[in-house]
């Protein structure tokens, strides 16, 4: 039984709801990376961002002129604060490096996160070319079928119904127009 959560039963009494998660990440899965390491990486990235933005604001003008502070003044000092904060965070994280630091993500967790992140990424990509509705149909049916191992007809039906509801709600009822890619002409809107 390798289904991802569709297994459910109303066992024992009618008053009980039971949903299983057979592919849940195992508790003893090895750590991929520690929180300490990620903290160091994040602080370095933020530091780089602070330097870049700080430089750009300094270039724009971060001092005072006759009318008051120049456009770069406020963000320049914010970059300084951000830089200071991340530098401090970096030092704290480096000093704590040898102490036992928690697990950022285990291998089993990473696998599950990727199982939803990669389809989301593909969805965003497909949306650029085929529009939102086609992409959402593909995402929902594909995710339910391949990640959730739910019956094909259920996956297709759910995806179709959900996409149709979204179309009616946004494009028709509330006049919020979504990109439709090559289907644009078919809907005539």
Partner 1 sequence: MEAFGLLLHGFAVLLTWKTLVLMMVGLVLGIFVGVLPGLGGPNGVAILLPLTFTMDPTSAIVMLSCIYWGALFGGAITSILFNIPGEAWSVATTFDGYPMAQQGRAAEALTAAFTSSFIGSLVAVLLITFLAPMISSFALKFGPPEFFAVYLLTFCSFVGLGREAKHKTVISMSLGLLLAGIGMDTVSGNLRMTFGSPELLRGINFLVAVIGLFGISEILLTMEERLALRGHAASISLRVVLGVWKDLPKYWATLLRSSFIGCWLGITPGGAIAASFMGYNLAKRFAKDPESFGKGRIEGVFAPETAAHASGTSALLPMLALGIPGSGTAAILLGGLMVWGLNPGPLLFVEHKDFVWGLIASMYLGNVVGLVLVLTTVPIFASILRVPFAAVAPMIVVSCAIGAYAIQNAMFDIWLMLGFGIVGYVFKKIGIPLAPFTLALVLGNRAEDAFRLSMIGSGGDLKVFWSNGLVGSITTLAIMLLFWPMIDGLLTRLGRRQRS
As measured in angstroms, the least distance from the Cβ of 78 to partner 1 is: 5
In angstroms, the Cα distances linking 13 to 10, 19, 21, 56 are 7, 14, 20, 66
**Candidate residues 2, 28, 68, 153; the one interacting with partner 1 per rule CB under 8 A:** 68
Residue from 72, 84, 91 nearest 46 by CA: 84
Token pair of 86 as six digits = 């991340």
CB 152 within 8 A of CB 65: no
Give dist(CA 17, CA 66) in Å, integer.
70
As measured in angstroms, the least distance from the Cβ of 97 to partner 1 is: 14
Using CB under 8 A as the criterion, what x/- string covers residues 30-59 for binding partner 1?
Answer: -----x--xx--x---x--x---x--xx--
CB 156 within 8 A of CB 141: yes
Binding to partner 1 (CB under 8 A) within 109-128 occurs at: 109, 112-113, 115-117, 119-121, 123-124, 127-128
Token pair of 64 as six digits = 């005072």
**Candidate residues 32, 58, 179, 181; the one interacting with partner 1 per rule CB under 8 A:** 179
- Establish if 21 lies at the interface with partner 1 (CB under 8 A): yes
As measured in angstroms, the least distance from the Cβ of 21 to partner 1 is: 4
Instruction: Decide whether 17 or 186 has the Cβ nearer to partner 1.
Output: 17
**Candidate residues 31, 44, 58, 104; the one interacting with partner 1 per rule CB under 8 A:** 104
- Establish if 69 lies at the interface with partner 1 (CB under 8 A): yes
As measured in angstroms, the least distance from the Cβ of 54 to partner 1 is: 9
- Establish if 19 lies at the interface with partner 1 (CB under 8 A): yes
How many residues of this chain bind partner 1 (CB under 8 A)?
81
- Establish if 4 lies at the interface with partner 1 (CB under 8 A): yes
160 CB-near residues (< 8 Å, 6+ apart): 137, 141
Question: What is the DSSP track for 49-80?
Answer: HHHHHHHHHHHHH-SEETTEE-TTHHHHHHHH
Give dist(CA 164, CA 169) in Å, integer.
8
- Establish if 62 lies at the interface with partner 1 (CB under 8 A): no
- Establish if 17 lies at the interface with partner 1 (CB under 8 A): yes
């Amino acid at each position: 039984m390798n289904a991802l959560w569709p297994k459910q039963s109303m066992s024992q009494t009618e008053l009980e709801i039971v949903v299983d998660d057979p592919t849940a990440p195992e508790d003893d899965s090895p750590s991929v990376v520690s929180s300490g390491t990620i903290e160091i990486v994040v602080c370095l990235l933020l530091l780089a961002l602070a330097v870049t933005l700080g430089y750009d604001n300094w270039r724009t003008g971060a001092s005072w002129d006759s009318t008051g502070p120049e456009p770069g003044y406020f963000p320049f000092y914010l970059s300084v604060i951000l830089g200071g904060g991340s530098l401090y965070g970096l030092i704290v994280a480096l000093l704590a490096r040898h102490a036992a630091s928690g697990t950022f993500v285990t291998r089993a967790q990473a696998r599950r996160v990727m199982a939803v992140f990669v389809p989301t990424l593909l969805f965003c990509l497909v949306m650029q070319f085929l529009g939102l509705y086609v992409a959402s149909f593909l995402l929902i049916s594909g995710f339910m079928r391949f990640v959730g191992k739910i019956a094909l007809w259920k996956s297709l039906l759910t995806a179709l119904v959900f996409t149709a509801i979204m179309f009616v709600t946004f494009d028709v009822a509330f006049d919020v127009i979504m990109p439709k890619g090559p289907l644009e002409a078919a809907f005539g809107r």
